[in-house]
Structure 1
Amino acid sequence: MISKHVEDLIVKYINNSANSDELSELNYWIEDPNNYEVFKEIVRTHYTINYSLENRNTNDTKRRLLAQIKKDKTIFKLKRIRLYSKYAAAALIILCTGYFYQQGFFSDLPLKTIGRKDAPININSEIKSGSDKAILTLEDGTQMALRKGHSMQTKNAISNGEKISYNRKSNNTTAELYNYLTIPRGGQFHLKLSDETEVWLNSETQIKYPVCFKDGETRKVELIYGEAYFAVSPSSKHNGSKFRVINKAQEVEVLGTEFNIKAYRDEEFVYTTLVEGKVIVNIDTKKQALVPEQQLKLNLDLNITTIKKVDIRNEISWKDGVFSFDGKSLKDIMKVLSRWYDIDVVIENKDIENEEFVGVLNKDQNINEILSNIKSFGIIKDYKIIDKTIILK
């Protein structure tokens, strides 16, 4: 039997009304395994009451919720195991926001934001989270705007405003026709190539690809810049034709797999992360094979590569509606947010640039909420929004 006080803390946690002291108290209480079981039961009951009328598949929702709560306990442990600086509590609480959205567990539930609500906020209605939008450049140079809620069709493709799909048909002509898809800052889009390869494109990204691949030849696309997640249609479905992604100083050879490439113009590194299957990364005359959960990091200036094992969820969560950070600096996090919210960020206090964080942010979260939480826990003294520039002090 738990006290009314603890029960109130849990309900506040769920309802986005707990302050920092209450969250710290709850963090400490939940570390007891027995208390954790109680916590699960209360959360399960609370969500059943609030959402049973809204969700047709309540049992499935409950199952996924409980599974995620179990994972959430690990995040609470991170405070003790990994974070010891004065920013630990802030890092945990701010970036836990939207954690239950990890891998789509809460796709049918509204986000429950964690953090203080009494911190001052600079309201700027011009800064909004990103959305589905892109510029399609056709083979004749014609440009077409694609955006959510607007359908479009060409002789080779069709779009519902969130995804563009190309026709499946053989192409035996001597000349290949190419399209470009450009994702601006504050945008994202989903592309289905003519061979049924799926590509998710992050903000500030451009890709070049054939309208239709030629029979019997290697399927090639070029990630000109930005970040893309590929789910490649296997060679076995295309008479053994390999799939290759060209980017800057490297070429990724694929047999049928899923992987992520991050290659932004303003960064000195290119990251190739393998989710499943097999890829071979060709750099000059050197070939390096990756196995699942490995990431190859290419230093463009020095032409040096390193391979390490990574947490796949942190690398690809962006395509599922969240940004997942594990040991990322404030500077790196703000760079990610600047692309998604289409803003510029200036960090005046250079001493805080390298403070590291762990957790997850929902991509639909209000930027003011993120900034006010960072301020309320002492990481920054203040912040200011001027037009679409954020200044952290």
Structure 2
Amino acid sequence: MQHDTHIQNLLKKFILNQCSKEEVDQVVQYIQELTDSSGIPSVEEVLVILDKKPVLNELDVIRIQNKILATSQESKSTFRIKSYFIKYAAAAVLVGALTTAYFLKDVNSDKPIPTAPVVVKENVLEPGSNKATLTLANGSQVALVNGASLQTQNAKSNGEEIVYNAKEANPAEITYNYLTIPRGGKFVIKLSDGTQVWLNSETKLKFPVAFIEGQTRKVELVYGEAYFEVSPSTKHKGAHFKVLTNKQEVDVIGTEFNIKAYKDETTIYTTLVEGKVDVNIGKVKQRLVPNQQLSLNSLTNNSVLKNVDVYNEISWKEGVFSFEKITLKDMTKVLSRWYDFDFVFKNKAIENEVFDGVLRKNQTLDEILKSIKYFKIIKNYEIKDKQVILE
């Protein structure tokens, strides 16, 4: 109990920028050791604390953000990927709260900052949600939406995930279903073999209703982005798992990996988190080990293998945008898929401005744009119909 009180007092001092260097280190260590987010103050709690005390200035916010992210970055090499997801999420929540509080007040006074952007109130600025379209073998389509349940002969859904019946099958022929995620959507599917797949916005997956026992299990990522947690071949009489895309084939034994293959991008990215995969490009085979990413140019078939920060590549499934030295043009592609808005650059020169930071996917589009503006990446923005005009 005494430890909890000490931590809570430290967090309050941290939020108010009253910590010594040693105390800041304690706070960062506490965040890194969390197994859930219950010990982190909510945005509302942070705002209550800041309302009673002098607000942080810009340098304070940036210093705290950099301290958390830099320290977390240093620790990543010593922990498995899953063990530090919560650390980044906690840091994002805390930094997000601090930054939000800074937006609400002038750094030198208690007067609210005048609202600069022109925002049309009737626009839907909310973040994406669970939604998908299931296409059955006979071509009929079923809408899957958050909060709505569905039961078919082969699967059931709670509106967030669709689960196919686990069964050993030897059908005369394989029948396929498709799961299509629109812009502004996300969904999870558990295949009949126990493999779990997280599907990002603007994604389409083709998969068998049931796999044939002992034969290679094949699915196709028609387009988009998906994170696979594959049921190991040892549970399926040695049967491998393969993911097909337009230009490559990923041969899996039992592993976790991410594939990004969007229609409007010429590069296909395969990122390995655990286990091992072989990426086959024509007659060329490339073995990946954890923390490696293979980039394939779909126009030239040239590929590049490199080590990457895995978290930045797969944070989307954990509800976080983790951008590392990304241009504003590429960043808006990601945002447009999640918020279902198109971005227009009034000033083309800012397309190559670079953003580096962590944002929460549950923020409204307006909050995200304020963050970008706050860090002086853009001067202003306007939301008009289904477009965001940046300048």
Q: What is the one-letter code of the residue matched to 2:22?
A: N
In structure 2, the CA distance between the partners of 1:305 and 1:238, relative to structure 1 (3 Å rule), is same
Give the CA deviation at 1:374. 2.6
Q: Alpha-carbon deviations, 1:254-278, whole Å to 9, x = none?
A: 0000000000000010000000000
Of the candidates 187, 196, 200, which is equivalent to residue 189 of structure 1? 187
Deviation at residue 133 of structure 1 after TM alignment: 0.4
Partner of 2:103: 116
Query: Shift of the alpha carbon at 1:175?
Result: 1.1
Match of 1:75 among 62, 69, 75: 69
Q: Secondary structure at the match of 1:225?
A: strand
Cα distance between partner residues in 1 of 2:196 and 2:40: 38
2:377 corresponds, among 372, 376, 379, to 379
1:355 match = 353
Contact 1:184 1:204 in 2 (8 A): yes
- CA change 1:192–1:357 in 2 (3 A) is same
Check whether the contact 1:102–1:322 (CA below 8 A) recurs between aligned residues. Answer: no
Aligned equivalents of 2:92, 2:376: Cα separation in 1: 32
Task: Give me the whole-angstrom Cα distance separating, in 1, the residues matched to 2:12 and 2:335.
Answer: 30
In the TM superposition, residue 368 of structure 1 has moved relative to its aligned partner by: 1.0
Unaligned runs of 5+ in 2: 1-8, 46-63, 73-83, 105-112
Counterpart of 1:34 in structure 2: which amino acid?
Answer: E
- Are positions 1:33 and 2:29 aligned together? no
- Is the contact made by 1:135 and 1:144 (CA closer than 8 Å) also made in structure 2? yes
- State the alpha-carbon separation in 1 of the partners of residues 275 and 26 from structure 2: 41
Amino acid at match of 1:342: D
The percent identity for this pair of structures is 53
3-state SS of paired residue (1:112): helix
The worse-fitting range, judged by mean Cα deviation, of 172-181 and 229-238 is: 172-181
Q: Which residue of 2 aligns with 1:143?
A: 141
Query: Unaligned regions of 5+ residues in structure 1, if any?
Result: 1-7, 19-25, 55-69, 79-98
Distance 2:333 2:68 in 1: 26
Provide, for residues 172-230 of structure 1, a one-character-per-residue CA deviation record: whole Å limited to 9, x for no partner.
12211100000000000000000000000000000000000011110000000000000
Q: Which 10-residue stretch deviates more, 106-115 or 124-133? A: 106-115
State the secondary structure of the residue aligned to 1:34.
Answer: helix
| Whole-angstrom distance in 2 between the partners of 1:77 and 1:241 | 42
- Mapping for residues 217-296 of structure 1, pairs under 5 Å: 217-296=215-294
In the other structure, the counterpart of 1:367 is 365
Q: CA RMSD in A?
A: 3.4
Residue 63 of structure 1: aligned partner:
none
The SS at the match of 1:249 is coil
Report the CA distance shift for 1:127/1:170 in structure 2 as closer, same or farther (over 3 A).
Answer: same
Give the whole-Å Cα distance in 1 for the aligned partners of 2:263 and 2:375. 33
* Counterpart residue identity of residue 118, structure 2: N
Q: TM-score, normalised by structure 2?
A: 0.77
* Number of residue equivalences: 335
CA contact (8 A) 2:92 2:359 kept: no
* TM-score, structure 1 normalization: 0.77
CA distance, structure 1, for counterparts of residue 233 and residue 30 of structure 2: 49
Q: Could you tell me how far apart the structure 2 residues matched to 1:152 and 1:228 are?
A: 22
Residues 129 and 186, structure 1, Cα contact 8 Å, conserved in 2: yes
Which residue in the other structure is 1:64 paired with? Answer: none
Moved more, 239-248 or 374-383: 374-383
**Worse overlay, 125-134 or 265-274:** 125-134
The answer to which structure, 1 or 2, has the higher relative contact order (CA under 8 A, 6+ apart) is: 1
Aligned to 1:168: 166
2:199 match: 201
Deviation at 1:302, TM superposition (A): 1.2
AA aligned to 1:374 is I
